[in-house]
Structure 1
């Protein structure tokens, strides 16, 4: 999945694009075009019949139309779900505000900055760069004092600094919310959190007090990443669901008009269009009607993928 580790094979890249990284409208468009292309091919080879004596009129007039209305009902349900997460009592809203302020103050204190950015990418970048600086600072303590840090500890700290650099490299000021979330979808933060906790306990008797405090600070930064990924997940999914409900209304109304138009093309024993045009009309009609379902599938795939990758909070990594 999308994280600071890039996909290695073409198959993984395609899967990442379909499940998470790709524009949902483009994914839905590919699905709808694929279905329309399959229908046109089957009609061209004679497997499907679209002539005046076929069941195209009844298919578009009853079955597909009822399916479109069902999708429009789903759009209403999605809107209700999004609104239920946005609205809240004063107490609930104040608690949310206090929680976000507390997290920002923690990061600002560790990063030693007067304020933290409002932009999600910049805020996560601040955590990443601070994490890198702190890890390198612990290594520098060992190089500038009589304390000789174990090779295992130094290696882990360098890996931690590399993780911060890699995380920051995947973030830009204009990065979208889903791209920012994609940078922390992986399990690297949890692995580093466990490694830091383990090293801190293993060498508790031998490391200087200053180094122990730095380890605690690094753990707090990794915990901040754990919280941020969950918060960003909530924002990203809510935005996606809100966009999905709007697109379902647009495409659903278009599909309903298309279904009615194709139905009216057919008469009892004839059609108002030449037989040579009917395969194209039916294929385009099917593609138009499938579009709302394709949008629903595309957005739900991303929401399910994000939910699966972020189901755990903290150093637990489900298999």
Structure 2
């Protein structure tokens, strides 16, 4: 089989300390923990700058006016944006009975396909278990296809390689899935374009040869259906993950925005026309910590946007059409 239509035998692995750190920052890491890292970095940076004398925070400096007006307006604006996002999320949850029935029918059709190919009476409700069952069924069907090819005397070598590659691909997904895990972690397993490469390889095999045994043709159709189910599942999980994240974002920004606003007012009252109420030895610490609290709503916003932008970019395609940017995207 040519490289253009070769199978992808495994999902993408995250290797190297730098790549794992970036993956944690933009996708897999808990967003509150990522926020903490960003806030800590900002507080540490300004504390260092103050200690080095590169930033003036004493009486008569611009710090008093910044706390008095600049930070207040910025915090209020950010909280307003968060509330607007919350309204957007809520609007996506509403719909007429007809629209809701259409959504339900689409979801049940996806579950029915997987259930029939798996030979089960029902499929799991847990997203991780559902994707795991899909991957295991894909591997089972690929193994059946391999057995059907072995039983035939004139099976081309590339067809056998295809069956083995699909089986390994399903195994790699199943190995990385943990039951009852967060949807975003389930989605991260199938964020790559391997499914599209395998769909193209399946199409090539079906059209290139027309002398496969009936059993092999049946298994090829099932594999194509399961790969399509993976493609649809990743898009559906993307929707669920982003809706959950945006709902949390609006709530966390509202909470942290209130604390940030109170901190801004408190720091504005610390500064007097010719003095500050905080003793000089502790002013740098108070300034850095207060600044960290004030930028927390923005850090929360950035942390969630990191993940939303990463998911959106790496799930642009639905099916075998893969933009070059997505094919070569590493983060």
TMscore range, shorter length: over 0.9
Q: Which residue in 1 is equivalent to 2:256?
A: 251
Q: Which residue in 1 is equivalent to 2:132?
A: 125
Q: Aligned pairs, how many?
A: 315
Q: Cα offset for 1:220?
A: 0.3
Q: Cα offset for 1:88?
A: 0.7
Q: Which residue in 2 is equivalent to 1:279?
A: 284
Residue of 158, 168, 177 corresponding to 1:162: 168
Q: Cα offset for 1:9?
A: 2.3
Q: Which residue in 2 is equivalent to 1:318?
A: 323
1-structure distance, mates of 2:205, 2:72 = 62
Q: Which residue in 2 is equivalent to 1:13?
A: 20
**Cα deviation digits, residues 25-73 of structure 1 (max 9, x gap):** 1111111111111111110011111111212111011001100000110
Q: Superposed, which structure 2 residues align to 1:129-208 within 5 Å?
A: 129-143=136-150, 145-204=151-210, 206-208=211-213
Q: Cα offset for 1:8?
A: 2.2
Relative distance call for 1:267 and 1:138 in structure 2 (3 A) is same
- Where does the alignment leave 5 or more consecutive residues of structure 2 unmatched? 1-9, 325-331
- Where does the alignment leave 5 or more consecutive residues of structure 1 unmatched? none
TM-score, normalised via structure 2 length: 0.93
Is 1:300 matched with 2:305? yes
Residue of 276, 279, 291 corresponding to 2:296: 291
Q: Cα offset for 1:10?
A: 2.0
**Cα deviation digits, residues 142-195 of structure 1 (max 9, x gap):** 23x343421111111111100100101111212111100001101111111111
2-structure distance, mates of 1:156, 1:60 = 64
Q: Cα offset for 1:4?
A: 2.9
Is 1:32 matched with 2:55? no
TM-score, normalised via structure 1 length: 0.97
2-structure distance, mates of 1:147, 1:130 = 26
2-structure distance, mates of 1:146, 1:260 = 79
> Cα RMSD between the aligned structures?
1.1
